[in-house]
Amino acid sequence: MQNKLDQLQFDNRFIHELPADQTSGLHPRQVEGACYSAVTPTPVTAPQLVAYAKEVAELFDLSEDDCKSDYFTQVFAGNKLAKGMQPYAMCYGGHQFGNWAGQLGDGRAINLGEVLNQQGERWTMQLKGAGLTPYSRTADGLAVLRSSVREFLCSEAMHHLGVPTTRALSLVTTGEQVVRDMFYSGNPQLEKGAVVCRVAPSFIRFGSFEIHAARNNVDLLRELVGYTIRTHFPHLGRPGVTTYLAWFNEVCAKTAEMIVQWQRVGFVHGVMNTDNMSILGLTIDYGPYGWLDNYDPDWTPNTTDREYRRYRFGNQPQIAGWNLNQLANAIYPLIEQVEPLQDALRLYSQTFIDSYQNMINEKLGLQVFKPATDKQLQDDLLKILVLTETDMTIFYRKLANISTEIDLTDAQLMAELQAAYYHPEQLTEAIEMQIISWLRQYIARVQQDKTDDMRRKQMMNSVNPKYVLRNYLAQLAIDKAEQGDNSMVNELLEVLRHPYDEQPEHQTWAEKRPDWARTKAGCSMLSCSS
Ligand code: AMP
Ligand code: MG
């Protein structure tokens, strides 16, 4: 019987409608006047399936048997091309850590093509870690198991949390060894190679536009913007100045929404360079990302960013604005008016603030945001969360249990939150008084809404996850996978499918980061080496 993968309907519009690199071969080069280069994945010796995401497989009508077939592993390791696949690497540039870095491009990502599924949706499949491309610069085009597990699990975890993100279909090991110096400390090690198949409507980034603007290629810039609008924003109508502005406004709105969602779940991207900003407002490129254990707006998991902490949790909204500014500069030649672009950027800030305030109110189980009382309540909340190390995820789940219908004593109130504190012994009387005073303010505010406790708990637990991909959990799964045991990768995937459910049998994965993980590599510190 013909394999299902050979029956997918490919419609590779990106490469059919946009200009290709005229030079062939994989040697590193500047690719001008083109949006992509045709490349083929590099074959690997002994690919093995580690995990696949069934919900993503379902987007392609692939069954469990299809995904467990040898052919599936061969295709998503880069050894075979299914019918209709036309692999290519995209050309883009980017601002890295605030500086223009010139051409970057898919140095280790290879798009396989765009599938039109049964629902009429367009999904691009992309291998990450499948070998050299003309954009690999001095690197090897490969990815290691450690970073691939992180990308695979987090893509799916974010999706199930309701955060806009690229998806992950599969994770395979290649049977090859890859050299990495994890902390750039002169200690190169051999690690297992791996490939993730990512899936998204498009992998176009802010940097995809910036590169043509930087090269003064306004015609190609216009072509790519037109393509993006026709393909991914068709409701905006025919390309033209008005449409370009409507489009930019929509990109601002989508980006604001994505960042609000990151702040809701405590996700820190770690490398918000403009080449890592999706034009569709999807979380993209899971590198040295991390999850807040204790709430700390200054925290970044990325050791490369340790000095200035540009991409720290609390700075993500500002950085997204800065990145949108770069995109505005890039498309300016198509618009040639500063004011409407600035208006859109202002709208980004306002949209973010409004949406953020509503989001925090939802986390608190409150109805509409009332500026007169709720601004202060939210500001004070952020203050009490940093008085002593407080686990953000646990705090909100426990807050949902606090009764606003029964009069609780101070001690009873504190007892409810106990599990969220990393150092209960640091809860001095003064600190407790501040927490209790906030709780009393909060209870009074809930009572104004007249929401009963049961209902409020339901509301809160539907936006405050119980399970997130805590950094140490990902690392435990990686440690096992590196020993050839994929069980925890698959168990985590399963638990993270229902992050808002209690799942009492998995309670240990909802608990505070254990002490040993505080300083362990991979659990609290990550580098860009992947
Ligand atoms: P990132 O920091 O992962 O967003 O990557 C920045 C740029 O470096 C992108 O153009 C990547 O494709 C490229 N890159 C990162 N790692 C590798 C690698 N191992 N081989 C080739 N290119 C890479
Ligand atoms: Mg990247």
Q: Let me know if residue 215 belongs to a domain.
A: no
Residue 352 sits in the same domain as residue 371 = no
* Whether the model pTM is above 0.85: yes
Q: Let me know if residue 492 belongs to a domain.
A: no
pLDDT reported for residue 19? 98
Task: Give the pLDDT band of residue 395 (cuts 50, 70, 90).
Answer: very high
Minimum-distance ligand 1 atom for the alpha carbon of 105: 10
DSSP secondary structure string for all residues of 310-339: TT-GGGHHHHHHHHHHHHHHHHHHHH--HH
**CB-based neighbours (< 5 A) of ligand 2, an ion:** 276, 285
Cα–ligand 2 centroid distance for 348 (angstroms): 23
Minimum-distance ligand 1 atom for the alpha carbon of 133: 21
pLDDT at 522 over 90: no
Q: Is 179 in the pocket of ligand 1 (CB under 6 A)?
A: no
Q: Which residues lie closer than 8 Å to 108 by C-beta, 6 or more apart? A: 128, 129, 130, 131, 132, 133, 136, 139, 140, 141, 142, 143
Minimum-distance ligand 1 atom for the alpha carbon of 106: 12
Residue 193 sits in the same domain as residue 78 = yes
Residue 41 sits in the same domain as residue 170 = yes
pLDDT at 278 over 80: yes
Q: Let me know if residue 269 belongs to a domain.
A: yes
Q: What is the arithmetic mean of pLDDT over 277-300?
A: 97
Domain boundary among 158, 190, 206: 206
Residue 103 sits in the same domain as residue 144 = yes
Residue 121 sits in the same domain as residue 199 = yes
Q: Which of 250, 277, 264, 239 is nearest to 347 (CA)?
A: 250
DSSP secondary structure string for all residues of 51-76: EE-HHHHHHTT--HHHHHSHHHHHHH
Q: Which of 324, 207, 228, 229 is nearest to 276 (CA)?
A: 207
Cα–ligand 1 centroid distance for 529 (angstroms): 9
Domain that includes residue 254, residue range: 246-361
Considering its fold, how many domains does the chain have in total? 3
Ligand with smallest separation from the Cα of 28: 1
Q: Is 302 in the pocket of ligand 1 (CB under 6 A)?
A: no
Percent of the chain with pLDDT over 90: 95
Q: Let me know if residue 461 belongs to a domain.
A: no
Domain boundary among 405, 429, 450: 450
Q: What is the arithmetic mean of pLDDT over 132-150?
A: 98
Q: Is 276 in the pocket of ligand 1 (CB under 6 A)?
A: yes
Q: Let me know if residue 217 belongs to a domain.
A: no
Determine how many CB atoms are found less than 10 A away from the CB of residue 77: 30
pLDDT reported for residue 494? 98
Ligand with smallest separation from the Cα of 181: 1
pLDDT reported for residue 521? 84
Residue 332 sits in the same domain as residue 190 = no
Residue 321 sits in the same domain as residue 403 = no
CB 506, CB 468: distance < 8 Å: no
Residue 117 sits in the same domain as residue 177 = yes
Cα–ligand 2 centroid distance for 285 (angstroms): 5
Task: Give the pLDDT band of residue 470 (cuts 50, 70, 90).
Answer: very high
Q: Let me know if residue 440 belongs to a domain.
A: yes
**300 vs 314: CA distance, rounded Å:** 9
Q: Is 134 in the pocket of ligand 1 (CB under 6 A)?
A: no
- 112-117-121 Cα angle (round to 5): 95
pLDDT at 1 over 70: no
Residue 348 sits in the same domain as residue 384 = no
User: Which residue is catalytic, options 21, 275, 374, 391?
Assistant: 275
Residue 159 sits in the same domain as residue 299 = no
CB 274, CB 284: distance < 8 Å: no
Percent of the chain with pLDDT over 70: 100
Q: Is 139 in the pocket of ligand 1 (CB under 6 A)?
A: yes
Residue 184 sits in the same domain as residue 253 = no
- Tokens standing for residue 249: 């406004």
Q: Let me know if residue 229 belongs to a domain.
A: no
Q: Is 104 in the pocket of ligand 1 (CB under 6 A)?
A: yes
Residue 293 annotated to the active site: no
Q: Is 444 in the pocket of ligand 1 (CB under 6 A)?
A: no
Return the half-sphere exposure (C-beta side, CA atoms, 13 A cut-off) of residue 173: 19
Domain boundary among 174, 206, 238: 206
Residue 318 sits in the same domain as residue 381 = no
Q: Let me know if residue 503 belongs to a domain.
A: no
36: helix, coil or strand? strand
Cα–ligand 1 centroid distance for 217 (angstroms): 24
